[in-house]
Structure 1
């Protein structure tokens, strides 16, 4: 098939060289032109967040198992760092088992597929590629565009042709988790060097701008066209250029008379008012946990607009004016501040409403940038509020909100041989001498449980469970977790609200742990997060 082509183009130079080596007699022009990587519209990484990001199909060739093994070595030295792996594929269950085996459940997260990685790379300070083989490496360029240095295996064919080792990333021998861990730690420990590499990475990505790649294709096509043009035609063209253009045959003819224009009485078009709304816009969070909305002017027709937040389960609404842009093409904007808006806990859909006729349309999401939430903190005083903007499955902008008088935030949950250790921070209340962790059963006839709580520092607590009530002959028993700050105080729900993850149930997973049962024997306990991002235990 290749032999019947004028040219065959690969996306890497090494791949083209391999083809030429395997097809030494082919007359086809075999060359390479890289993939184009458009400049993203999202903000760039600031390099502050202790997060490594990898993305791609969960396939054996991607060697995410090696990445997880390497990250276990990183966590042993730098426990504050986290790893997120985006994508789906047949390796997911095997990777989940490896995470459980290495007890990395609070450090490595399988994020599942994401509609666009453009908003996820800026959250990272390092990107990781551990493949045994890459055709090119689009994820490398996407990360570089976001100012994120890439630690990658020097595998065939792409990484080594994109990354300059030590300048915009690091190259590591393939299939060596120890070398990969060392490269990650080197990048983690050198914060200034990491930022310099991030700056260089953005410059590197410009080599793959669509305009430059298009020019390479145009040159190739011109060369191929020239090669197929007969020699006689080329000689004729050169002669015509030397002699000049032939005299026009009609140069001496008088110009034709222009017929009179027909007079047409065009019907007047009645003004039918503003066009139908088609609002679309972006959202960006800041380090205070607030959100800014920008609605494209191209989908709006009218003079005044309001952003309406409507609670999905109920009739509650909040209205925020959209500010008029400075120019016709600038977006309409609104700032959503937790100090100004009182949003009850739940999910809120966002609409744009036109003042002239009251027309209201749901706001379609473009970019939803949540990076600010990774450096924001839960309020240390007053009620506990937290907002997470997100794109719904059908493409609209929504806001998940949490609002509680007090809250116990889980910071770590470690499952060991015969024990479960829970660590966290208490907000909106103070720990007393009789503080305890409570498990409230959802099933009548099944015992609740209580475990002593230890205050380890200001607002920090820890509880260790070594035994649990059995499931009382039932197939499974569920307990919801609460923290009782003191004997005379109301229990506080235990969960995870902070950062940018909308549904913890999908990402924060834990293995079964065998604990002793008070009546003898043992019980298998699996911690999990509910649909409200609260912690619960299940006994089988």
Structure 2
């Protein structure tokens, strides 16, 4: 069959796009699949697209596109849609007369056997413009029935009655559709989003870390999670909460965290993609929404072996989590209930670990392959309603399974989904006509033709070198670079690390060949054996036979092993963090210093800023009198504060706020001082104080603290600690 998905913008990033890509990729294993993007805003999709899936844009709105091929100046863009309500046509979605025109043309000419619309405006257009009887017309509801504005809901309800089927991502919402739309001929059913396992190393449950992720909007109720964490932090101050995401609620959440004194306990991490590497760092996941159409983040966390504490909200969590076995459901809108659920898993390690194992098993229900089978069964039932055994004029892709294979796969689908008839039977592809090229009609080339073909290919085509890799950090800090075998060919391949600013010769590490078909090439970066200068290092794969050198594309930078890891003893101090660059390559940030003072705790107290930390690469003498030196960047005065050496490596000091204001020396505006440590009162060696240890690359964006009495601690781009001071106001 040929299956087409209608997306508004396949070049964006969002849950609907991601779930569509996942399902399209799974269906492409047995069918021809294309994604029709109503608009195109950039050159390539922002999310990974399966190779077998084609994207077909209808309207080109890329800036800088040549005028003759651009649609940016088309006058129809300013005319209203004849089909889609204004409430669905505003803002970034923007349906208009041009979208009507292009969709109508596509739906009139397509050779698809199934067309699936993924948002209300597209569902409305599919009903109004689609060709009844030529192909199956299916709508998808990725939100909830009652969450749309009345104008959109009314138009959608009318449109659904003209489709073959409409799917909701939970069975509860499908029931709502059936209750609200009695008597329509359209099949209304629940088919969850598919969520693939990524192959990253799952959580080991060791980190004292809770992770939450999602858009920072009111429906997610992160304010409840922050309030609950005030209770958790009181009982378990060594546990931390990370909140990943961006959105309009970010400033309010930051204020709430500061007002509750939780800046040292909760980290707002910003957006992160892919998020799976961050789920795997946690021991527990938290979802506190007041409603969820499905709960994709829940399944993602479960795939990573992380049990989820989720509010029992409509509609998704209760269908995904079996409370007490693979996660916990807690009362809706109850901060105390959320805290109680989190504390249950924090304080019961065996339960937490057993739930993590069960969560990985449960998440397999949503594997793309299983959901693709469920969709095939849906197509078959709809065709059976028409009295067809297969869609007209279609051929399944080579290797499509017989009916019996698909029927047996029904047992893999969740019980709530097993209400479909058998999938459409496979049909034998039409043989190709035999020609003079030696092709016998089955696609095989014989004899001299085959030899000539192979010879020509060898002469004209070089073996590819297009490395895609993940970097995985082990519990001992050793990093393994796993290069995917596709598009990597050759012998004696080498991984090189090159300092971005020319800091010495490249470091070369041999790449070990795959040990089995499909296994990766591997290179080991031993932090005890490799000495990397401070800075950023780019990774390349080099093939000596022809001198080809290609930069490594990042699949995953798995930093789970860095959470809780300590630096190697002795001097110099060194630390590495792998990360994906903004343009998608794998890189390594290295720190290397004779000694380093790690600021473990930054705490604003009544009279001053307290810093507690650990010295690495050096030790305090028993009778040492260490000090902290504040060096101004401008014309303000330097000053020194005494430091208490708790033992040979731990230290503590407090900088009085009044001392900081006095050192302003009348300077206007905000003044900044860099902080360093001296091991003795007469030492001239400055040891930088900062935050480097751990898995977070850009501490200046995440480790934020409030202004107290005009003074704020800040971390620079290299993780070094400074304090800023604004004019003192009594």
TM over 0.5: yes
Q: If the length of structure 2 is used for normalisation, what is the TM-score? A: 0.66
Q: Do structure 1's residue 355 and structure 2's residue 544 form an aligned pair?
A: yes
Structure 1 stretch 120-129 or stretch 320-329: which is displaced more?
320-329
Matched, 1:475 2:664: no
Q: CA deviation at 1:472?
A: 2.5
- Aligned match of 2:699: 504
In the alignment, structure 1 residue 142 sits paired with structure 2 residue 331: no
Question: What residue in structure 1 maps to residue 492 of structure 2?
Answer: 304
C-alpha contact (below 8 Å) 2:571/2:618 kept by paired residues:
no
Question: By how many angstroms is 1:16 displaced?
Answer: 1.4
The superposition leaves residues 198-228 of structure 1 with CA deviations (integer Å, 9 ceiling, x where unpaired) of 1111111122222222222222222222223
Correspondence for 1:313 among 490, 501, 516: 501
Matches within 5 A, 1:437-516: 437-443=628-634, 445-466=635-656, 467=658, 468=660, 469-470=663-664, 472-489=666-683, 490-514=685-709
- Residue 288 of structure 1 corresponds to 476
What's 1:536 paired with?
722
1:82-481 aligned within 5 A:
82-229=240-387, 269=456, 271=459, 274-316=462-504, 317-327=506-516, 329-431=518-620, 432-443=623-634, 445-466=635-656, 467=658, 468=660, 469-470=663-664, 472-481=666-675
SS in 2 for 1:120: helix
TM superposition shift of 1:327: 4.2
1:287: how far off? 1.8
- 1:471–1:477: 8 Å Cα contact kept in structure 2? no
Distance 1:228 1:287, change over 3 A: same
Provide, for residues 342-396 of structure 1, a one-character-per-residue CA deviation record: whole Å limited to 9, x for no partner: 1111100011111112221111111211111113102232221111011111111
Q: Which moved more, 1:265-274 or 1:333-342?
A: 265-274
> 2:570 touches 2:618 (CA, 8 Å); kept in 1?
no
Question: Residue by residue, what CA displacement relative to the aligned partner does 1:295-331 show, whole Å, maximum 9, x if unpaired?
Answer: 2232223222111111111252211122233346432
* Distance in 1 between residues matched to 2:462 and 2:472, nearest whole Å: 29
Equivalences, count: 503
Q: Aligned-pair distance for 1:116? A: 0.4
Q: 1:261 to 1:400 in 2, by over 3 A?
A: closer
| 8 Å Cα contact 1:103/1:414 also seen in 2 | no
Query: Alpha carbons of 1:95 and 1:446: their partners in 2 closer, same or farther (altered >3 Å)?
Result: same
Q: Counterpart of 2:237 in 1: which secondary structure?
A: coil
More strand per residue: 1
In the TM superposition, what whole-angstrom CA distance separates every residue of 1:113-133 from its partner, at most 9, and x where no partner exists?
112012111111000000001
- TM-score using structure 1 length: 0.89
8 Å CA contact 1:286–1:376 kept in 2: the answer is no
Distance (whole Å) between structure 2 residues aligned to residue 528 and residue 106 of structure 1: 13
The answer as to whether partners of 2:195 and 2:300 remain within 8 angstroms in 1 is yes
Render the CA deviation track for 1:228-287: whole Å, top value 9, x for unaligned. Answer: 339xxxxxxxxxxxxxxxxxxxxxxxxxxx999989985862635743521221111112
Gaps of 5+ in 1: 231-257, 515-523
Assess if the C-alpha contact under 8 Å between 1:274 and 1:301 holds in 2.
Answer: no
Greater alpha carbon shift after TM alignment, 152-161 vs 309-318? 309-318
Structure with larger RCO (C-alpha < 8 A, sep 6+): 1
1:26 aligned counterpart, secondary structure: coil
Do the aligned partners of 1:285 and 1:369 also contact (CA within 8 Å) in 2?
Answer: yes
**1-structure distance, mates of 2:700, 2:197:** 33
CA distance in 2, matches of 1:339, 1:260: 63
Contact kept? 1:87, 1:114, Cα under 8 Å: yes
Does the CA contact (< 8 Å) of 1:287 and 1:375 recur in 2? no
Asked if 2 retains the 8 angstrom alpha-carbon contact of 1:309 and 1:348, the reply is: yes
Query: 1:527 and 1:10, CA in 2 relative to 1: closer, same or farther beyond 3 A?
Result: same
Query: Which residue of 163, 166, 169 maps to 1:5?
Result: 163
Cα separation, partners in 2 of 1:32 and 1:512, compared to 1, 3 Å: same
Aligned to 1:243: none
Q: 2:508 and 2:383 mapped to 1: Cα distance? A: 61
How far apart in 2 are the matches of 1:293 and 1:172? Answer: 40
Contact 1:471-1:539 at 8 Å conserved across structures: no
SS in 1 for 2:646: strand
For 1:214 and 1:324, the matched residues in 2 are separated by 34
Deviation at 1:535, TM superposition (A): 0.4
Aligned mates of 2:595, 2:532 — CA distance in 1: 16
Residue 98 of structure 1, CA deviation: 1.1
Alignment of 1:34-113 (within 5 A): 34-113=192-271
Change beyond 3 A, Cα 1:134–1:260? closer
Distance 1:511 1:295, change over 3 A: same
Q: CA deviation at 1:90?
A: 0.8
